[in-house]
Structure 1
Amino acid sequence: MSKTPNQVFVLDIDKKPLTPCLPVIARKLLNAGKAKVFRLYPWTIILKKSVNDLPEPIEIRLDPGSKTNGIALVQGTQVIWGAQVTHRG
């Protein structure tokens, strides 16, 4: 798996999920006025137009552990988003 930063989730105007993009592309869309921030965590933008493209499938992978659980969203061999959940007990 490649070591890239978390990607930005993208929605169209109808709140239909699209293929995630890199933060650089998301900032360009925001600065051009073609999108706006939908949610800060996880960073999600919403486009100001409808898109008819189908997104690539995304898998969720879980790594259970004794003190922390790992969660990753994977598209092909690339990790799109990753997080760790620490147990309280």
Structure 2
Amino acid sequence: MWTALLGVERVGRTDGFFERGGHSLLAAKLVARIREEMGVHIGLPAFYAAPTLAALAALIDSDDEARARDTVDALLTEWEEV
């Protein structure tokens, strides 16, 4: 996603989005694309706080873990009601 939006051939895990030529409009497009393609909701403020590929991957992982916890919590609540 980064390479397509930034028009670069490769991106390293410690590369900064804004250092590689990104700007606010591209950041908004990236966040929207992540939401559409991966189902992960990352707000722009969170992305601005973590603008490297590695930091973004950590945000995505933490969102996946949070969704998994929410699913388990919902199942446990449902089972307790039975």
With the shorter chain as reference, the TM-score category is: under 0.3
Give the TM-score of the pair, scaled to structure 2.
Answer: 0.25
Give the number of the structure whose residues are more often strand, by fraction: 1
Give the number of the structure whose residues are more often helix, by fraction: 2
Give the TM-score of the pair, scaled to structure 1.
Answer: 0.23
